[in-house]
Amino acid sequence: MIFKFNSPVATALATFGLTTGLGLVSASANAFTFTLNQSSGTWSNVFDGYDEWEEVNTVKFQTIGNENQVRWGTPADSTSGQSGLGFTGAGGSTRQLGEPFLLGTLRHINNPIYGGTSAEFVDLTINLDFTINPNSSQSEHLAKSFAFTLGLDETLNKISSKPLKPRSALQPWIVGQNCKYPGITSCPDRIFPQSTIPQDSVNIDGTNYTLEWIGFSDERLRPVIIPGLTEEGQGNTADLYVFGRIINVGNIPPYITPSPENLTVNEGDWFNFAADAKDSNNDPLSFEWDLDNDGKYDEFTGPRGQWSFSDNGINTIGLKVTDGKPQGDTYDSFEVLVKNVAPTLTGLDLSTPTIFEGESASVLLTATDPGADAISFLLNNNLITTDKKTSGTRQANLDLGVFTDNGTFTYTGIAEDKDGGRSKSITKTLTVLNVAPSITSLTENILVKEGELFNFAATATDPGIHDILTYNWDLNNDGIYDDFTGNSGQWSFTNNSLNTIGLRVSDGDGGFDFGQFNVTVENVAPTITSLADNLTVWQNELFDFAATGIDPGINDILTYRWDFNNDGVYDDFIGNSGQWSFANPGIYKVGVRIEDSDGGFDHHYFEVTAKKVPESSSALGILALATVGIGFLRKDKT
C-alpha cells in the first residue's frame, strides 16, 4: 500500500512519520478499516488576543497533563484566569471508512476577561495515529495531521437576574435579552469550524482521503450533533466532544448553507423546518431528518417540512444531507425549545344550578391541553383528582354531597398540567333554596270536658339541619299563633264548644308548615256545693234557705230553682236564697235544682219540720195570718 501526503503545511507533516509493514496487494482503498490509536491537538495562529490598553499580546500556549491549551485575554478580576481552549485526544476506536469517530474533547475555558482581549480565530491541528486494517496480517501504520480553523464568538456575559435550573429541568431559554445565540442561563458563546473539510489529505493506493469535521456532540459515545454553544456560569468550563470521519476526497460531501437556526415554539403547535445544501459535484441531494433524537434519520425526507412536539422540553432535530455516494453524508442539527402551554378549562358544569335543602349536587370539570400532559383539577384550590390521559378531553367529576342548609355556594375551578401551567378559572354558583319544615305528628282530635286540662304535642322535621324549629300555637282560634310556644303543652277550655287548635312551625328562614286538630268540649253540669241543713220551725214561721253551686263552665249562668211543695216541679222559687214558711204542720222536703245555660243541672233537698202552733189569743192568730200572707207573697208560681 502506497501512502502519499498532500498538504500545504509542510511543517505539520514533518513531525509525523509513516511506518510501512507488508504491502497490501489485494486490499481495496475504498473498503479499509482503521483503528485510531491516539489523537492529539496542536494550537497555532491565534488571531487577536491583544490587550491594547496594556499593549501586550495575551496569547499563551501550554500543556497541562494530556490537554494542550491556548489561553488569551486579560482577566477581569484577580480570582479568574485567562479564557481559552483546550484539546484532549482520544483513541481506541475502530471504524470503517466513512464512519464517525471521536477525535477528542474540546474544552472551552470561559473566564471573565476584559473586552477586546479575546481571540477571534485559532488554528487547531488534529494529529491522528492510525493502524490501517488492524486485524489483517497486512496492517499498516499511518500518522497524519489535519488543520482546521475555529471561529470564536465570545458574547458579553449577561447572567440572568435569578438562578435557573439546568437544561434537563426544561427551563426556557433566557427571555428579555437580545442574545445572538439562545441559551439557558445567559447569552452563550459559540465555537465553530470555518470549514469542515481541511486542505490536508493522504493518498492511499491512488485515492485521496481527508478528515472531515462532523461537529460537536454532548455524548461521548455517539455523534448526536449539537450547536457548538457553551453556556456562561457552568463552572467556567464547558466540554464539547468533537467527531470526525475519514472520507474519500474524490467525493466531497455536500455542505449545508446556512445551518438551521434554533426555534422556540409552543407544545402542540406545528412549526416549519427547512434546510438548504450544496454539492461541489452537483450531485442530487436527499435530506433526511431525525425528529425524535433517536439517531435514526427516518422521520421525514425532503428539504422542508412541518412537525410538532406534544410536550415541552428542548428537542434536538438532526439533519443528514447525502449525495448517495460513499462518504457523501453531511450532518447538522438545531434545537427546538418547546414551551409549555397551560391547559384550557373548557367547562365547569354543575348538575343543576339550583337545588333545595336536603338535595345533592355534583360538578364536572373538563379541560384540554395541546401537550401530552396529565391534568389535575382543582376546585376552590383543593385538588379533586388527576386525569392521567395525555390527549383529548380530560375530566374530573366530584359529588358535592347533600346540602343541609340554604345559601349560595361559589365554586371556582382550575386545570393544572404536570408542568405547573394553570388554566384560566371558571366560576359557577350553586343556589340552595330553603325547604319549609314538615309536621310529622300532631295531636289528634280529642273530646274533653269543660275545664279539663288536655295535652297537646307536635313533632316536625327540616332538611336544613342547622335550622332551629319554632312551634307557635293558636289556642283561641283567632288566627294568631301567639298563645303558646313549644312543641308540647297543656290547655283547657271553660265552656262547652268545638275548638280548633292551630299550629305553625317555622324554621327561621321563612319556611312554615301549618297543622290543626279539633277539641270538642263537653258541658259539665253544675255541682251544689252547699245547701241549708234540715230544720224545725213552727207552722207559718218564716225560715231562711240558701244554696251555692259551681260550674267549670265559667261562662255559664247558674239558675237556682226550688220545689217547696214536693211536686217534683222546681217552680216555687228562683234564686240562690230566700225565705219560706209552711201553713200546715208536717215534714216537708225542700228541693233545689241548679241549672247551667247548657242543660246541665244538679239537685238536692233538705227537710223542714213544721210544728203545729198551740191555740192562742186572737192577737196570736192575727200574727199567724200575717205570717202566712208573707209566705204567699214569696211563692213563685210562674
Q: Which residue has the cell 378531553?
A: 393
Does 23 score more than 50 pLDDT? no
Strand partners, 531: 547
Kindly state the cell numbers that stand for 148.
482546521
> What sign results for the dihedral spanned by CA atoms 172, 174, 178, 181?
negative
Tell me: the pLDDT tens digits for 293-322? 998 999 999 999 999 999 999 999 999 999
Is a pLDDT exceeding 80 seen at residue 632?
no
Please tell me the predicted confidence (pLDDT) of residue 55.
Answer: 85
Residue 189 confidence (pLDDT): 73
**Residue 97 near residue 137 (C-beta atoms within 8 A):** no
The two beta strands, 601-611 and 201-204, are unpaired
- H-helix or E-strand containing 334? strand 329-339
pLDDT for 33 equals 86
What pLDDT shows up at residue 10?
Answer: 30
Domain locations in the chain as residue ranges: 3-250, 344-433, 438-522, 527-634
Q: Do residues 152 and 191 lie in contact, with contact meaning Cβ atoms separated by under 8 Å?
A: yes
The mean pLDDT of 263-272, rounded to a whole number, is 93
Q: Which amino acid is at 284?
A: P
Predicted confidence (pLDDT) at residue 170 exceeds the cutoff of 80: no
CB atoms within 10 A of CB 381: 8
| Phi, psi for 581 (deg, rounded to 5) | -150, 155
pLDDT at 629 over 60: no
Distance CA 412, CA 408 (A): 13
CB–CB of 309/271 below 8 Å? no
Q: What is the mean pLDDT of the chain?
A: 83
According to DSSP, the β-strands at 313-322 and 286-290 are antiparallel
Strand 313-322 and strand 329-339: pairing?
antiparallel
Assigned architecture for domain 438-522: Sandwich (2.60)
Instruction: Report if pTM > 0.75.
Output: no
Residues, the chain:
638
Range with lowest mean pLDDT among 45-49, 206-210, 404-408: 206-210
* Identical fold, 438-522 and 527-634: yes
pLDDT at 270: 94
Helix (H, G, I), strand (E, B) or coil at 12: helix
Region 174-202: mean pLDDT is 68
Concatenating the DSSP letter of every residue in 421-456 gives -BPPPEEEEEEEE----EEEEEPPPEEEETT--EEE
**Residue 7, pLDDT score:** 45
302 burial class (0-12, 13-18, 19+ CB within 10 angstroms)?
A: exposed
Is residue 538 over pLDDT 80?
A: yes
Q: What pLDDT score does 76 carry?
A: 82
Q: Please, what sign has the CA dihedral across residues 15, 21, 22, 28? A: negative
Average pLDDT over residues 72-82: 84
DSSP β-bridge partners for residue 437: none
pLDDT value of residue 42? 94
**Is residue 26 over pLDDT 60?**
no
Task: Please check whether residue 246 is in contact with residue 208, taking contact to mean a CB–CB distance below 8 angstroms.
Answer: no
**How does pLDDT run across 484-505, given as a tens digit for each residue?**
999 999 999 988 899 999 999 9
Could you read off the pLDDT of 442-483 as tens digits, one per residue?
A: 999 999 999 899 999 999 999 988 899 999 999 999 999 999
What is the reported pLDDT for 406? 92
Residues 415/345, Cβ–Cβ less than 8 Å: yes
pLDDT at position 122: 93
DSSP state of 75: B
Strands 344-350 and 300-301 turn out to be unpaired
Which range (11-25, 201-215, 246-260) has the least confidence? 11-25
- What are the tens digits of pLDDT across the range 313-353? 999 999 999 998 877 888 888 899 999 999 999 999 999 99
Q: What number does CATH give the domain 344-433?
A: 2.60.40.10
Q: List CB contacts of 387: < 8 A, sequence separation 6 or more.
A: 374, 375, 376, 377, 394, 395, 396
Q: What is the structure's pLDDT at 236?
A: 57
Distance between first and last Cα of the chain: 172
Half-sphere exposure of 48 (CA within 13 A, CB side): 14
Amino acid (one-letter) located at 604: H
Q: How far is CA 602 from CA 411, 549, 558, in A?
A: 77, 9, 10
pLDDT in tens, 576-628: 999 999 999 999 999 999 999 888 999 999 999 999 988 765 444 444 434 43
CB atoms within 10 A of CB 394: 25
State how far the alpha carbon of 524 is from the alpha carbons of 145, 370, 555, in Å: 138, 90, 12
- Which value, to the nearest 10 degrees, does the dihedral of the CA atoms of residues 165, 166, 172, 173 take? 120
Q: In this predicted structure, what is the pLDDT of residue 340?
A: 94
Q: How many CB atoms lie within 10 A of CB 623?
A: 14
Least confident of 135-149, 151-165, 204-218: 151-165
Q: How far is the C-alpha of 411 from the C-alpha of 429, rounded, in Å? A: 6
Lowest mean pLDDT among 15-24, 312-321, 379-388: 15-24
SS3 of the chain: helix, strand, coil, percent, to 5? 5, 50, 45
Asked if 602 and 527 touch (Cβ cutoff 8 Å), the reply is: yes
pLDDT at residue 18 greater than cutoff 70: no
pLDDT at 217: 82
Query: Which stretch of 141-155, 511-525, 550-564 has the lowest confidence by average pLDDT?
Result: 141-155
Decide if pLDDT at 99 tops 50: yes
Q: Which three cell numbers stand for residue 63?
A: 500543556
Percent of the chain predicted with pLDDT > 70: 83
Topology (CATH level 3) of domain 527-634: Immunoglobulin-like (2.60.40)
| Span 392-448, pLDDT tens digits | 999 999 999 999 999 999 999 999 999 999 999 999 999 999 999 999 999 999 999
